[in-house]
Amino acid sequence: MKHIKTLNTKNLKNTMKKGGCGECQTSCQSACKTSCTVGNQSCENK
């Protein structure tokens, strides 16, 4: 595409199939303890 560059190809919809296993880290255990940040967390069920 001439006018658009897409940064990521992942579609969140597809994660409904295998998602929700809960093995990933609890968001508050990482560093924050005062906010809720999940966008930077890794999936452990790839």
Residues that bind other proteins (CB under 8 A): 1-13, 15-16, 18-20, 22-46
Ramachandran assignment for 33, one of left (phi > 0), alpha (psi -120 to 50 degrees), beta (any other): left
Q: Closest approach of Cβ 21 to other proteins, in Å?
A: 8
Ramachandran assignment for 20, one of left (phi > 0), alpha (psi -120 to 50 degrees), beta (any other): left
Q: Closest approach of Cβ 22 to other proteins, in Å?
A: 6
